Chain A
Amino acid sequence: DQQVKQNSPSLSVQEGRISILNCDYTNSMFDYFLWYKKYPAEGPTFLISISSIKDKNEDGRFTVFLNKSAKHLSLHIVPSQPGDSAVYFCAAQGENNNDMRFGAGTRLTVKP
């Protein structure tokens, strides 16, 4: 069962504009959420995270928003840069480390 879903397999954005990547989850026991970025031929790298006790976490150009009632989180990248072009994975984790679940990823393309 897919407990974490990224319904948009791809997203294309113009350089300088905002990129918004979305993620939905079904398990209310998840209490920590992460975004990973993956370039081709490399493993995913951690980008930003948010605890369920918060609704927003910001790190430079990256902001993650969490809406617990909707079981939805989003990653905002402002301004988008061509180097941001990658696949972005959303992940959710419960108290048990074995409960980490990943979405299928969204391929972001930032056009110059």
Chain B
Amino acid sequence: SAVISQKPSRDICQRGTSLTIQCQVDSQVTMMFWYRQQPGQSLTLIATANQGSEATYESGFVIDKFPISRPNLTFSTLTVSNMSPEDSSIYLCSVESSLSYEQYFGPGTRLTVT
């Protein structure tokens, strides 16, 4: 298994500002994923971040709004840019086991935009 930490655990931000969420894994992983869970909705994949290459974004998500960095095999950041109240959500990073399909999730970052 992998142990994943996220910072911050929660934040309240004003409209129009940006927040960068950090994700740290205790082991080297190739693929890291960023998800969003809005109230009452399912977990939604935002993008996949591979070390050394640009992130791959899912439909409906763009790099200008959610820039991602992946400087090494244990760390990634997701920035939520020019925030609006609709961005209020829990953001989770996750990694996939190298041996199976199992995914391990961080504790999440609860973002509230006012």
How far apart sit A93 and B43, CA to CA, in the bound complex (Å)? 13
Say whether chain B's binding surface is mostly helix, strand, loop, or mixed. Answer: strand
**Total of A-B residue pairs, C-beta within 8 Å:** 56
Residues of A within 8 Å of B44, CB to CB, are 102
Residues of A within 8 Å of B33, CB to CB, are 100
Contact present for A42 and B42 (CB under 8 Å):
no
Contact of B31 among A32, A41, A97, A105 (CB under 8 A): A97
Scoring B residues 50 to 75 as 1 if CB is less than 8 Å from chain A, else 0, what string do you get? 00000010100000000000000000
Q: Which 6 A-B pairs have the closest CB atoms?
A: A43-B105, A102-B43, A104-B42, A46-B102, A102-B42, A44-B105
Contact present for B45 and A100 (CB under 8 Å):
yes
Would you call B96 an interface residue if the criterion is a C-beta within 8 Å of the partner chain's C-beta atoms? yes
Q: Which of B96, B103, B104 has the most chain A CB atoms inside 10 A of its CB?
A: B103
Contact present for B42 and A34 (CB under 8 Å):
no
Scoring B residues 14 to 44 as 1 if CB is less than 8 Å from chain A, else 0, what string do you get? 0000000000000000010101000011111
Contact of B104 among A46, A102, A104 (CB under 8 A): A46
Would you call A2 an interface residue if the criterion is a C-beta within 8 Å of the partner chain's C-beta atoms? yes
Would you call B92 an interface residue if the criterion is a C-beta within 8 Å of the partner chain's C-beta atoms? yes
